[in-house]
Chains A and B, each alone.
Chain A
Amino acid sequence: MLSINNLCARAGDRDILKGLNLAVGPGEVHAIMGPNGSGKSTLAGVLAGRPDLEVTGGSVTYHGHDLLQMNPEERARQGLFLAFQYPVEIPGVNNVYLLKAALNAIRKHRGEAELDAFEFLAIIKDKMKLMEMGDSFLNRGVNEGFSGGEKKRNEILQMAVLEPSLAVLDETDSGLDIDALKVVANGVNSLRAPDRSMVVVTHYQRLLDYIVPDFVHVLSDGRIVRTGGRELALELEERGYDWLRDGADAA
């Protein structure tokens, strides 16, 4: 499904990813953990095609295609979804119209009929209930004036509507209180499916109490230095990251 080989990337003149390898199979949930500055968000950004990140080496294959050759909108239409760590406020662009346009862009790409306003509303109402969002969200500007928790819920709402094949969640837990975290995790869990893979980037293991991963990877200095099951996350919580960082340097 997704295969990352020896990926190297930089932001400006700083090398951040330094030979990263990761394979994600259908329906799998992979957690990427690591200290600040280890390259977690850069990995998420490179996968989605953030234009300010430069890939300097390696390859990413997604459903058999060269992901790095696609521009961001093509990746989205091929079923890749990035839930942003800091969702952008865009006053003046209506939240619900963006969602409808996004869904129709994907449907068109798949050769499916575009939805009209009524069909679309029927779909979105259910999903909004799931994310415990009121109607007032619909007619506001994209993320305009949303609280931190509302922005994250809006991201997962978009994910629920767009039904991606690969979802990359970039620190979706940051800035959430425990109640909001549960709502967001519920939304994500309801979207787990045999044909939907997820890469969950997080600094804290707390999120993984609610979204239970199949694999946990530890990223340090631009490389994955340890891979394990859920228990690795618990160990990280107890011991911090330093023991792994030291181990990586020694290796």
Chain B
Amino acid sequence: MRTAAAKQSSAPGPWLPEWVETAAAAVTGPDWLAERRHAGLEYFAAAGFPTRRDEDWKYTDLKLVARRAFSAHPAQSLAVPAIDALECPAMVFANGRLVESRGLPAGAVVLPLSEALAAGHPACRELLGRIADPSRHRFAALATALFGDGVLLDLPDGMALDAPLRLVFLAGGAETPTLACPRVLVRAGARSRATIIEQYGAAPGEALSLAVTELALGPGARIDHYRLQEESGEAFHLGVLAAKLDCDATLVSHNLSVGARIARLDLDVELAGAGSRVEMNGLYVVRDRQHADSHTRVDHAVPRTTSDELYRGVLAGKSRAVFNGKAIVHPGAAGTDARQANANLLLSPEAEVDTKPELEIYADDVKCAHGATTGQLDTAALFYLRSRGIDEETAKSLLTFAFADTVLARMDLVPLRRHAEHLVVGRLPDADRIREFT
């Protein structure tokens, strides 16, 4: 019956594409997970692929995704994008399967999710699919139904990982469109600390990544999270990064989005404990016909919580970007401090950005500030550089880089900052000439 419905894919109402049915039939897991997977499918079937009528997807058209069929492919030996001067424990997944694992830290539990599930690790049942709200995120719901493997990081109370943990997810490399469901679950115990790098890599060929990361931070925990989306220009990337913070916990999130034909990331942060704090840094750099959509949502649920958000975008060619930043200050959340800034640089008259800050404030005694700008390069700065003998094209690229680097400068991890800068420089005109300035 569902197969029949799939054929009339433009019709609203409960239906599932055939490729989803096929993928859902292939996954395994304990009973409680089967229930969550089933619920995920129900959510997705009810919501369907978004249309322009969905307020949350108004500016992001997924026709290109909806009209394709994706399927699981065997792990390929795909090239892992290098990050210079970064030596750290790593796990590499290709098309959803673990292909490499090295130097994993002792003491903390770092496991492939498939193993953790098979071993009945309690963090899975407690948290998996519970932080990324399936009713709010239809693709997270779908990903829960379809994922095969991923990573569990379970940090005991008081543990600090002295090296970053690098997780690489590669998709593609096949003749037909590939489906990958990268999945990360982190439970950070009280006062624990870790730096996590998620790198979504380029491989030629069409692919759909339904990436879901869930972070649960205990009291006083701190996670520094770097997310690099550098997929190929044929890829579709639909991700959710959801975090819940207990008292005095800190999340520092860096999001770089330079790849994919269509990329969307929903960053959801629930500041659920007093004194918790999130810093959200985002940069999207798109060109040609690329589309990047950044949705962020912070729930200030209790008193004395802080959010500080800086997102910037650089758009060339016929690219489009969307920024939607929502901050909700719930009743009783006195002493909330919420700051948000979004700025966009349009390098081409055909590029387009839709930016929308949304503040919902239901409490007194709060500080909220937001601002959004869209513009071209600063002409005074451009003239200053030219008056020093720098030719106009190089000067423009330099200023574009400088605009973007304001976000990257917030990265504490130097090899990551350098890597991100190289990715950005490589996407600007005159890349070779400006490289030596940076």
Taking Cβ atoms with an 8 Å cutoff, the residues of B that contact A are 378-381, 383-392, 395, 398-399, 401-406, 409, 436-438
Contacts and interface: CB of A to CB of B under 8 A. Distances in A.
Interface centre among B379, B402, B405 (most CB of A within 10 A): B402
Contacts of B380: 88
A199 interface: no
A127 to B, nearest CB: 15
Contact of B386 (A73, A87, A92): A73
Contacts of A105: 388-391
A51 interface: yes
A84 interface: yes
Contacts of B378: 88
A71 B389 contact: no
Contacts of B385: 90, 93, 98
A93 B398 contact: yes
7 contacts: A76-B387, A77-B389, A87-B384, A91-B406, A92-B401, A102-B389, A158-B388
B402 to A, nearest CB: 3
A63 interface: no
Contact of B405 (A73, A87, A92, A98): A92
Contacts of B398: 90, 93
A92 B403 contact: yes
A169 interface: no
Consensus secondary structure, chain B interface: helix
A192 interface: no
A102 B390 contact: yes
Interface in A66-107: 71-73, 75-77, 81-82, 84, 87-88, 90-94, 97-98, 101-102, 105-106
B150 to A, nearest CB: 36
Nearest to B391: A73
A76 B383 CA distance: 11
A71 B392 CA distance: 9
Interface centre among B386, B388, B401, B403 (most CB of A within 10 A): B388
Contacts of B389: 73, 76-77, 101-102, 105-106, 109, 162
Contacts of A124: none
A162 B387 CA distance: 12
A76 B381 contact: no
A58 interface: no
Contact of B438 (A94, A106, A158): A94
Interface centre among A71, A101, A141, A158 (most CB of B within 10 A): A101
Nearest to B421: A92
A48 interface: yes
A173 to B, nearest CB: 20
A52 interface: yes
B437 A76 contact: no
A237 to B, nearest CB: 31
Contacts of A142: 384
